[in-house]
Amino acid sequence: MEQPILNGLIQYNTEGSYPWHMPGHKRRLNTIFPDMVENPFSIDVTEVGDLDELHDPKGIILKAEERAAKIYGSDKSYYLVNGATCGIMAAVSAVCNHGDTIIVARNSHKSVYNVIRLLGLKAVYILPEWNDELCMFGGISPDSVKKAVKEHPHAKAVLIVSPTYEGVVSDVEKISKIVHKEKMPLIVDEAHGAHFEYMSNVVETISATNYKNVAKPAIRLGADIVVESLHKTLPAMTQCAILHMKKGYVNEKKLDEFVSLYQSTSPSYVFMATIEACIEKMDFERDGKFLVLKQLVVDYRKKFAELANIHLVGGDDFKKYSNSDYDYTRFVFSVKNCGMETEDGVVPVTGQMLADILEKEYGQMMEMAGGNYVVAISTIADSKEAFESLLLAMETIDKQLMNYSYEADTILYDSLPEKRMEIYEAGTKAEIRVPLDDAVGRVSSDFIFVYPPGIPFVTPGEVLSKDCIRGIKRAIEFGRNVKGVTSEGANKNYVNVVKEIRNSWLPIRKKRI
């Protein structure tokens, strides 16, 4: 029997590498849910008997969702079995009609771009602050939101990502006030911050350097719709997520309809049961496992901060940009300005190289490799021993590195590409494939991005500039997972662009005399 997927999973498990990646349960179910059923098939049913309906909850599912709303302080919470992806698409669909304008952070997730395309929306982008020293996006400054809502008063909503993949938390409280002043709703993609609710009340109990505060959940800071992936930072199964809503700026009936529209009509009760177990258990563990995690984070942040070459990213790196906060459970290690001695001399160390060394030589699997950094996600499932082994690996690698200046993975995010048409419109045009080098000045018909995190160099409808192409080529050189570019032959890269009808090709119309 051929079972490549199962075999792949078994192989991954037996390799024994340690997961500094999602899902947040880290496959250590017994330590978190000792009473959870071991065989998921035994609770895998459909909507029968008194088991209620996710699409029209009136019984046990409604009760569970009401309990979630109470815990999170929302007016209504929705269980999501198709990930934060479906929640984000539902949120945007509930506040925008076809062809409307929406203001979104440029570092938005794919799901945001997808719903913009589906609804034929006009997108106005806000660039997050670009941290030049780290070559990394920071938070969204309240001033940039103010400017965008003033310039686009007809926009139907503002959507931001907070925290970012790299742990930067924007000033949601200030931003929500600015957005509400213009009578617009604020949607926060808090996919990476589902743990904020449970960490924020242990803030006063520990004080330590480099750990000033614990970011608060956006739904308690004035956001109108907040979408969280439970599976990223909490012990829930992959795809389990939740959407919270506050009444006032959101049409509840439309939100009900769209949350339903984007979810499977056969929602998994296994997922729903783990969402419920996760929320109840996390609520119980506020002063238990979360306190332990917080202490581990404090202790190990101090130790990682002593590395000579590898830099542990923290809130101080972003303080000068705006009033942003930081998720200290996120361990981002920057190797910008690091080099390594090889047979060919000293070479720059990229994020991918560090991730590869950590995986192959130390069995430490990172969540993500950026151009010059790696991201590790810590959760309540991580033990002291796990932190200790990561520290040991980092200390050993750090000793092999040296200070070395190099041109980092320069994706020039200091300005937005020129937009010639909206995303949906580009999707309706004929396209042609051209070599990347010949694409300067052409309109892209695809998204071109590095995954993860999926922030586009260009979206369909935007112009591929010289700088943009240089950034794409650099990302390819750095071994990053670039989507929207195909390779063929001797390293030749191709992209799809909108087929332009040049004036000279148009039939000449004869003037009537």
Ligand X SMILES: Cc1ncc(COP(=O)(O)O)c(C=O)c1O
Q: How many CB atoms are closer than 10 A to CB 424?
A: 19
Q: Which is nearer to ligand X, 191 or 335 (CB)?
A: 191
Q: Are 170 and 222 in contact (CB under 8 A)?
A: no
Size of the site for ligand X (CB under 6 A): 13
Give the residue, chosen from 19, 23, 24, 83, that forms a contact with ligand X under the rule CB under 6 A: 83
Site for ligand X in 414-473 (CB under 6 A): 453
Give the residue, chosen from 81, 84, 282, 439, that forms a contact with ligand X under the rule CB under 6 A: 84
Q: Which is nearer to ligand X, 122 or 192 (CB)?
A: 192
Q: Which is nearer to ligand X, 423 or 464 (CB)?
A: 423
Site string for ligand X, 102-141 (x = CB under 6 A): -------x-x------------------------------
Helix (H) or strand (E) holding 229: strand 225-229
CA proximity to 133, closest of 321, 358, 328: 321
The answer to the question of residue 262 lying near ligand X (CB under 6 A) is no
Q: CA torsion angle for 202, 208, 212, 217 (degrees, to 10)?
A: -30
Least distance CB 179 / ligand X (angstroms): 19
Segment lying near ligand X (by CB under 6 A), choices 82-90, 91-99, 178-186, 475-483: 82-90
Give the residue, chosen from 191, 236, 259, 272, that forms a contact with ligand X under the rule CB under 6 A: 191
* Exposure of 351 in the CB half-sphere (CA atoms within 13 A): 25
Q: CA torsion angle for 384, 390, 391, 394 (degrees, to 10)?
A: 180
Helix (H) or strand (E) holding 482: strand 482-483
Q: Which is nearer to ligand X, 104 or 485 (CB)?
A: 104
Least distance CB 5 / ligand X (angstroms): 18
Least distance CB 437 / ligand X (angstroms): 31
Helix (H) or strand (E) holding 226: strand 225-229
Point out the residue whose Cβ comes nearest to ligand X: 83
- Which residues, 6+ apart, have CB-to-CB distance to 35 below 8 Å? none
Q: Which is nearer to ligand X, 140 or 463 (CB)?
A: 140
Segment lying near ligand X (by CB under 6 A), choices 51-59, 81-89, 359-367, 436-444: 81-89
CA proximity to 125, closest of 322, 417, 324: 417
The answer to the question of residue 85 lying near ligand X (CB under 6 A) is yes
Q: Which is nearer to ligand X, 357 or 377 (CB)?
A: 377
Q: Which is nearer to ligand X, 107 or 496 (CB)?
A: 107
Least distance CB 106 / ligand X (angstroms): 12
Least distance CB 307 / ligand X (angstroms): 27
Least distance CB 452 / ligand X (angstroms): 6
Give the residue, chosen from 52, 166, 171, 189, that forms a contact with ligand X under the rule CB under 6 A: 189
Which tokens sit at 280? Answer: 């109840």
Helix (H) or strand (E) holding 189: strand 186-189
Q: Which is nearer to ligand X, 83 or 456 (CB)?
A: 83
Least distance CB 74 / ligand X (angstroms): 18
The answer to the question of residue 267 lying near ligand X (CB under 6 A) is no
Segment lying near ligand X (by CB under 6 A), choices 188-196, 267-275, 390-398, 426-434: 188-196
Q: Which is nearer to ligand X, 142 or 453 (CB)?
A: 453
Least distance CB 139 / ligand X (angstroms): 13
Question: Given phi > 0 = left and psi -120 to 50 = alpha, else beta, which region is 479?
Answer: left
* Burial letters 310-337, b for 16+ CB under 10 A, else e: bbbbbbebbeebbebbbbbbbbbbbbbb
Segment lying near ligand X (by CB under 6 A), choices 170-178, 185-193, 281-289, 321-329: 185-193
CA proximity to 483, closest of 461, 458, 511, 508: 458
CA-to-CA distance for 334 and 368, rounded, in angstroms? Answer: 12
Q: CA torsion angle for 353, 355, 356, 357 (degrees, to 10)?
A: 90
Segment lying near ligand X (by CB under 6 A), choices 125-133, 189-197, 455-463, 480-488: 189-197
Q: Which is nearer to ligand X, 128 or 142 (CB)?
A: 128
CA-to-CA distance for 87 and 189, rounded, in angstroms? Answer: 9
* Burial letters 347-367, b for 16+ CB under 10 A, else e: ebbbbbbbbebbbeebebbbb
Give the residue, chosen from 161, 278, 381, 469, that forms a contact with ligand X under the rule CB under 6 A: 161
Site for ligand X in 214-243 (CB under 6 A): 229, 241
Least distance CB 368 / ligand X (angstroms): 9
Q: How many CB atoms are closer than 10 A to CB 460?
A: 27
Q: Which is nearer to ligand X, 91 or 408 (CB)?
A: 91
CA proximity to 464, closest of 507, 496, 491: 496
Calculate the alpha carbon distances from 228 to 46, 218, 315, 410, 488 in Å: 25, 10, 22, 30, 39
Helix (H) or strand (E) holding 494: strand 492-498
Q: Which is nearer to ligand X, 332 or 443 (CB)?
A: 332
The answer to the question of residue 165 lying near ligand X (CB under 6 A) is yes
Q: How many CB atoms are closer than 10 A to CB 283?
A: 15
Least distance CB 493 / ligand X (angstroms): 25
Q: Which is nearer to ligand X, 223 or 439 (CB)?
A: 223
Q: Where on the chain is the footprint of ligand X (CB under 6 A)?
A: 83-85, 109, 111, 161, 165, 189, 191-192, 229, 241, 453
